[in-house]
Structure 1
């Protein structure tokens, strides 16, 4: 490989890494909060259910304990969780700006339901409905591969403006 080829390859890698740091619009539902007002830090303290079983319910945030990131307001159940989030928000925000991971695998942006979640390799993923969770879990590695490939093309698209089907939030409301 020539020095020029190495320079081009290095520049392409740097552009890829830089572009992944810039998120598109965060999905915000009618509550006015990212992740429907649920505490994104608390997911990492919940015990995950095995594939095929319902996850524990998400922990609602408090409308008086918030932080803004990626143009959206996130709510937290404790000041400690807010501080933890502010120290490393990228670690806690859901992948694909809070959109459904399986929807992204299929090439689109649809809302993510905060009670249909899974943490994989330290990253939070949401899905839209229980049926979709089933499709997602049939081949998580393959769906992640599709999601990552598709996200490059749709990340800059506007966030979904659809409500989450059959979802009643118990998180704070404006």
Structure 2
């Protein structure tokens, strides 16, 4: 009986993990299955700027694949992936807070807040980071709530 319960709990764990991976892959902002349009998530923190990653230098965390510009950044990511992942699945933070919509981003328009990466839409004379900065506390709270509803 113990063996049966062990095998059952193991299968249940893998099943739940697999469902979480599928949900993340379906809800995250991915381009050809790559997050942040191929930009290195660690570079935002370590280099202080958006740096394009290399397709031959990747890591996958819970179904979402990231590119890295250098091996050291990949190592940082592997040690603590949740620290470097963008908020709201890589969608525009402003749009997530304003309306709960998943809106594309410009990977070069970002902000680090409390050691978390936020990305923003910036095209056609519309830079949502500027609007975010005017009401950050309110928009962040709403975005957190909207994302929890999306990802559950």
Question: Root-mean-square deviation (CA), in Å?
Answer: 1.7
2:62 is aligned with 1:70: yes
Counterpart Cα distance in 2 of 1:87 and 1:115: 24
Higher helix share: 2
TM-score between the two structures when normalised by the length of structure 1: 0.66
Query: Structure 1: which 5+ runs fail to align?
Result: 1-21, 48-55, 157-174
1:86 aligns with 2:78: yes
Counterpart of 1:110 (choices 94, 99, 103) is: 103
Tell me which residue corresponds to 1:99. Answer: 91
Structure 2 residue runs without a partner (length 5+): 1-19
Secondary structure of the 1:90 match is: helix
Partner residue, 2:120: 127
The total of aligned residue pairs comes to 125
> Does the Cα contact within 8 Å between 1:108 and 1:154 map onto a contact in 2?
no
- Between Structure 1 and Structure 2, the one with more strand by share is 2
Q: Which has the higher contact order (CA 8 A, sep 6+)?
A: 1
Asked if structure 2 preserves the Cα contact closer than 8 Å seen for 1:27 and 1:97, the reply is: yes
Contact 1:63 1:75 (8 Å CA) reproduced:
yes
What's the TM-score, normalizing by structure 2?
0.75
The aligned runs of 1:32-47 (5 Å cut-off) are 32-47=33-48
Distance of 2:138 and 2:150 partners within structure 1: 18
Partner of 1:26: 28
